[in-house]
Structure 1
Amino acid sequence: MASDQLFIDFILDQLTPAGPVHAKKMFGEYGLYWDDKIFALVCDNRLYVKPTAAGRAYLQDALTEGAPFPGAKPYFLIEEELDDHRWLQQLVRLTVAELPAPKPKKPKRK
């Protein structure tokens, strides 16, 4: 089951006040970006945030891990806290701060 646009819109509404967040469709699902950094995936209407040490410390007892698709590394699965926009925004800020900058894209050949 692919994620629907209503769920993506809800997640973006929850996160947009935190910073420059946007979604890109990828293989029938979505990647969530802060500027050019991908920090989460939305698969089957479930939010998976990239694991970081700061995110793990922040989640503590709320930590649940899951694979967004078969064969993927575990991500933090966020379910119960989706309605708490402040909590979610803080998790995203901590995660993005710890993620490395994206590698520069190579120029296309002419």
Structure 2
Amino acid sequence: MASKQGTVDYLVDQMAPAGAIAAKRMFGEYGLYCDGRFFALVCDDQLYLKPTAAGREWIGAVVEAPPYPGASNWLLVDGERWDDGAWLGRLAGLTAAALPPPAPKKPKAPKAPKAPKAPKV
């Protein structure tokens, strides 16, 4: 079951205190970014955060589960906590801050000019 756009929009709004939150579609679900750092997934209308010590400490009673089959465990955030934007925003900010910054993108190599076609004889 794919996540609903409304769920993702709501989570992005609730996490706004953390910084620039963006959602990107990934394989039918959504990846969440805070200031360019990939920190969470929304899969099957559930919120999963990358496991960090800061996130575990903030959540308290942690539930871990894989966001999709074959994945390692991530921190599963109970839907009852989503309505507290200050709490959720702080969790997003703490988690993103504990992750390394995104790697700089490599500059694209300039395209080589096309060789002229040889005339047909």
TM-score class, shorter? over 0.9
Give the share of equivalent positions with the same residue, in percent: 55
Secondary structure of 1:11's aligned partner: helix
Structure 1 residue aligned with 2:76: 77
Gaps of at least 5 residues in structure 2 are: 112-121
User: What TM-score does the superposition give when structure 2 sets the normalisation length?
Assistant: 0.84
- What root-mean-square deviation, in Å, do the aligned CA atoms of Structure 1 and Structure 2 show? 1.1
Q: Distance in 2 between matches of 1:5 and 1:60?
A: 28
Partner deviation per Cα, 1:24-57 (whole Å, 9 max, x = no partner):
0111100000121101000010000111011111
Letter of the 1:74 counterpart? N
How far 1:85 sits from its partner (Å)? 1.0
Kindly tell me the number of residue pairs found equivalent between the two proteins.
109
Secondary structure of 2:60's aligned partner: helix
Maintained 8 Å contact 2:40/2:50: yes
Letter of the 1:8 counterpart? V
Letter of the 1:48 counterpart? Y
* Structure whose alpha-carbon radius of gyration is higher: 2
Structure 1 residue aligned with 2:34: 34
Extract structure 1 runs of 4+ deviating beyond 4 A. Answer: none
Maintained 8 Å contact 2:34/2:93: no
* Larger proportion of helix: 1
Gaps of at least 5 residues in structure 1 are: none
How far 1:94 sits from its partner (Å)? 0.8
Secondary structure of 1:24's aligned partner: strand
